[in-house]
Amino acid sequence: MRYFTSALCAAVGVGLLAACAGNLSGQSGSVPSLLSPSRAERANNRTPISLVAAWMRPTGIQRLHLGMAFPDKKKKPAGGLYASEFYSNPSDGEGLINAYPNPNSKNGAPTCTINGYAINGWGVDLQQNLILPSASDASSDPSVNVYAGPKLCGKLLGSIADTNGQASDAKSFDATKDSIYVGEIVSIATGDGDVLICALKTSSCGQPVTNSSITGYGGGIAADTKGDCWMSAATSTTTGFVLVYWKGCKGNGAVATGTKNAGFGGLFFDAKGNLVSIDVTGALYVYKGCDPKCTVVSSSTLKGDSIFGNLNQKGNELAVGDVANSDVDVYKYAPTGVKYLYSFNNGLEGTGFTEAAGFSPTNKNL
């Protein structure tokens, strides 16, 4: 199965999804017409699906964010930053992921770019390999692609065909040797989110792991060194929130309790082992436990509506894609809360949903 081969169909598919995605007021946004296929039909037709709901779309003129912060001049460059757009040109549906120096408080231009198609979330492993779920163009099958680190935008090491649906996110401690945990927005079979465990060595994935409480799109994925995994998902297309935990990333899993999210989004662990959950309504929650009982450590308000992000190697800075402002926001991070530092958007078109950003290298706990 492939994405629509017509670039026009691809662009219309993205726009239609965003228009019909609904909002967090409880409306699913589903319209019973031939122009609004079900989630399962979208998955089967490989319609490019973005996690950006209509209410999140940028409005007004997006400007460059220059001179927004004055960092310590003694601070030495530490690796890089990635920022992606679901599609950078609405006419052809092509997306991209740009690499930047870290820090990038002066809004410097990208140093390199990898082109893709329908890019949502992605991950960086501890070897600084980039794990990018994407397709090369509208006529190609979706796949999970691994690009070599530590150099940014390194060579393609291999691809794993995604025959189950369309990916939302990916995490691995070593993508070349270990399991790659892939969050799926939709499954072809059900139209709901699930989790795949894939391996680059075999270029294949196992059977989907899911839970009956996931009745909407799948979002962020997280995993720990024990092989346990978590997914942040919607309960009705892009509406609602459920966090599911699977011991050993298998079986039926269990719904996490004690969560405060209003909406789903990216997941990652901080340096203290806390599970951090990005809420698309513009919030960040830090939880302890969630196996399956969660205890709230802190909550913070983000600058804009964001979906995916990660921490730097030291675990004291956070970068997130800001859909509402079409840029990347960088924060000082501690388990007790975040403090806004600066934003950048050089090389981002501002029309294609800046869903994800992150550091390379990243925090050891992913």
The reply to whether 65 falls in a domain is no
Quick one: DSSP state of residue 154? -
pLDDT band at 71 (very low <50, low <70, confident <90, very high): very low
Over the stretch 106-150, which tens digit does the pLDDT of each residue have? 999 999 999 998 899 999 999 999 999 998 777 788 999 999 999
The reply to whether 152 falls in a domain is yes
Amino acid at 83: A
d(CA 194, CA 211): 8
H/E run at residue 52? none
The reply to whether 80 falls in a domain is yes
pLDDT band at 337 (very low <50, low <70, confident <90, very high): very high
Quick one: what percent of the chain has pLDDT higher than 90?
Answer: 71
Quick one: what percent of the chain has pLDDT higher than 70?
Answer: 79
Sheet holding 317-322, edge to edge: 112-117, 94-101, 80-89, 356-360, 306-311, 317-322, 327-334, 337-344
d(CA 153, CA 183): 22
Half-sphere exposure of 1 (CA within 13 A, CB side): 16
Average pLDDT of span 90-104:
86
The reply to whether 63 falls in a domain is no
Q: Is the peptide bond before 133 cis (omega within 30 degrees of 0)?
A: no
Q: Which residues contact 53 (CB under 8 A, 6 or more apart)?
A: 18, 21, 22, 23, 24, 29, 238, 239, 280
pLDDT of 344 > 90? The answer is yes
Q: Look at residue 36 in the predicted model and tell me its pLDDT.
A: 44
The reply to whether 69 falls in a domain is no
Number of domains in the chain: 1
Question: Which 3 state secondary structure label does DSSP give 292?
Answer: coil
Q: Look at residue 136 in the predicted model and tell me its pLDDT.
A: 78
Domain containing residue 280: CATH number: 2.120.10.30
**Cα distances (angstroms) measured from residue 176 to each of 79, 130, 145, 160, 343:** 20, 11, 11, 12, 32
Average pLDDT of span 242-269:
98
The reply to whether 67 falls in a domain is no
Most distant CA pair in the chain, distance = 59
Q: What pTM was estimated for this model as a whole?
A: 0.86
d(CA 360, CA 153): 11
d(CA 31, CA 29): 6
**Domain interval for residue 266:** 7-57+76-360
Over the stretch 204-232, which tens digit does the pLDDT of each residue have? 999 999 999 999 999 999 999 999 999 99
The reply to whether 70 falls in a domain is no
Question: Which tokens sit at 237?
Answer: 């297309």
Q: Are 150 and 361 in contact (CB under 8 A)?
A: yes
